[in-house]
């Protein structure tokens, strides 16, 4: 197969980790006879510096005309703690999500047996955890009407959802549940919010299409508790944008392997793949960042193209690297620490 992949390296450690994912993907392409054309484009603080805009039109055109987007990380300290600055990297992120129609953010949380000790949670609580969130990403309070009244002394945000938006997100969740253990949890706050009541009604209405899937409905506050208490109780979870923002970040802590967690954002025609970690500016340019989450994001990309074998060889290479201690300093535990580039080289060689 032939692919065009937009390559949005972004800020901080983004360029370094992306470089390794490209290396590994190229090795996979060679092994399986695919051809990947990488299309680099500017985003984040890097784009603001270059053209004054975090998601320039040119970048959008490159993304929209590609088969997928591989994304590094965005964010720079000079924009931190100034959420009122006129131009900020996150705005680019939101604009990109909306313009590319990336409506389903897929965030798996799973454990690597060799890394269980890194979790803040006790081993017996997390062993075997394997859950995945489907977070709605292009609606809700992120994109609803917001503003000020009374000379700026009153502020408001509107959370809004349509049945269609809920249905297409929920369908992704039901489909994933069918491939997994047929358990789906819809997370809402239906005892307080009207949008949540529409979520619940809509998902209830879809249950008959998936008679094998056992659906539960839980309140967001209860899930915030139970995720830490009994993460193994969950399998597929679906939720709205803001709840998903909070819960997927909370869940990412469970495994103790945050630096390894990939994600996908699925759209109707194009999808994006990125590590869940941030741009980690303190580590930028030092060849110390862990590239594995980005490499695993590339695995998700192949799998999303239906190329399951290609995804599998990447996952196997990562597992082998972990087992053999070919890891960056965050995982080295007193053993030898490899550089970002060296880990990438090793993975590419082991494809």
Ligand X SMILES: CC(C)[C@H](C(=O)O)[C@@H](O)C(=O)O
Q: Residues comprising the binding site for substrate?
A: 97, 107, 135, 221
Measure the CA–CA gap between 291 and 17, rounded to whole angstroms.
5
Nearest approach in angstroms of CB 101 to ligand X is 16
Q: How far is CA 229 from the centre of its chain?
A: 23
The CA-atom distances, in angstroms, between 69 and each of 85, 140, 267 are 27, 23, 11
319 sits in the region (left: phi over 0; alpha: psi -120 to 50; else beta) called alpha
Residue ranges at the known binding site: 97, 107, 135, 221, 245, 249
Q: What secondary structure does DSSP assign to 193-206, as a single string?
A: -HHHHHHHHHHHHH
Task: Tell me: does residue 122 bind its own copies (CB under 8 A).
Answer: yes
Task: Tell me: does residue 200 bind its own copies (CB under 8 A).
Answer: yes
For 210, phi then psi, to 5°, come to -130, 65
- Residue from 235, 245, 330, 342 binding its own copies (CB under 8 A): 245
Specify the stretch interacting with its own copies by CB under 8 A; choose among 65-73, 249-257, 282-290, 342-350.
Answer: 249-257
Measure the CA–CA gap between 260 and 276, rounded to whole angstroms.
8
Give the CA diameter of the chain: 63
Task: Tell me: does residue 263 bind its own copies (CB under 8 A).
Answer: no
- Residue from 189, 236, 270, 296 binding its own copies (CB under 8 A): 189
Task: Tell me: does residue 161 bind its own copies (CB under 8 A).
Answer: yes
**Cβ closest to its own copies, residue 115 vs residue 242:** 242
Q: What is the 3-state secondary structure (H, E, C) of 18-40?
A: HHHHHHHHHHHHHHHCCEEEEEE
Identify the helix (H) or strand (E) that includes residue 123.
helix 123-126
Q: Which of 49, 221, 286, 320 is catalytic?
A: 221
249 is catalytic: yes
Q: Which chain residues interact with ligand X by CB under 6 A?
A: 90, 93, 191-192, 221, 245
Size of the site for its own copies (CB under 8 A): 60
Q: Under rule CB under 8 A, which residues in 128-147 are in contact with its own copies?
A: 141-142, 144, 146-147
Residue whose C-alpha is closest to residue 95's, from 56, 66, 51: 56
26 is catalytic: no
233 is catalytic: no
Q: Which of 123, 156, 249, 312 is catalytic?
A: 249
Binding-site partner at residue 222 among ligand X, its own copies, none, CB < 5 to 8 Å by type? its own copies
Q: Which residues are catalytic?
A: 142, 189, 221, 245, 249
């Amino acid at each position: 197969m032939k692919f065009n992949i937009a390559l949005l390296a972004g800020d901080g450690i983004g360029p370094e980790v992306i470089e390794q994912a490209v290396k590994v993907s190229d090795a996979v392409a060679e092994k399986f006879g695919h051809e990947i054309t990488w299309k680099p484009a500017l985003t984040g603080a890097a784009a603001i510096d270059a053209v004054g805009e975090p998601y320039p039109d040119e970048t959008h055109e490159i993304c929209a005309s590609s088969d997928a987007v591989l994304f590094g990380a965005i964010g720079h300290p000079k924009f931190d703690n100034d959420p009122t600055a006129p131009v900020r990297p996150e705005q680019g992120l939101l604009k990109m999500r909306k313009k590319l129609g990336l409506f389903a953010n897929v965030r798996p949380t799973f454990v690597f047996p060799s890394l269980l000790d890194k979790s803040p949670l006790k081993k017996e609580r997390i062993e075997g955890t394997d859950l995945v969130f489907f977070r709605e990403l292009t609606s809700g309070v992120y994109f609803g009407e917001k503003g000020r009244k009374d000379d700026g002394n009153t502020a408001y945000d509107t959370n809004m959802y349509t049945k269609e938006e809920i249905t297409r997100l929920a369908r992704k969740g039901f489909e994933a549940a069918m491939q997994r253990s047929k358990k789906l949890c819809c997370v809402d706050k239906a005892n307080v919010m009207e949008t949540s009541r529409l979520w619940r009604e809509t998902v209830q209405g879809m249950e008959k299409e998936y008679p094998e899937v056992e659906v539960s409905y839980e309140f967001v506050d209860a899930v915030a508790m139970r995720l830490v208490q009994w993460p193994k109780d969950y399998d597929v979870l679906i939720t709205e944008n803001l709840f998903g923002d909070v819960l997927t970040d909370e869940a990412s802590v469970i495994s103790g392997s945050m630096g390894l967690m990939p994600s996908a954002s699925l759209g109707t025609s194009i999808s994006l793949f990125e590590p869940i970690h941030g741009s980690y500016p303190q580590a930028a340019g030092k060849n110390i960042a862990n590239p594995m989450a980005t490499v695993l994001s590339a695995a998700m990309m192949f799998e999303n193209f239906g190329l399951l074998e290609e995804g599998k060889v990447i996952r196997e290479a990562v597992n082998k690297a972990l087992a053999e201690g070919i890891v960056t300093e965050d995982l080295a535990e007193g053993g030898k620490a490899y550089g970002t580039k060296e880990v990438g080289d090793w993975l590419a060689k082991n494809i």
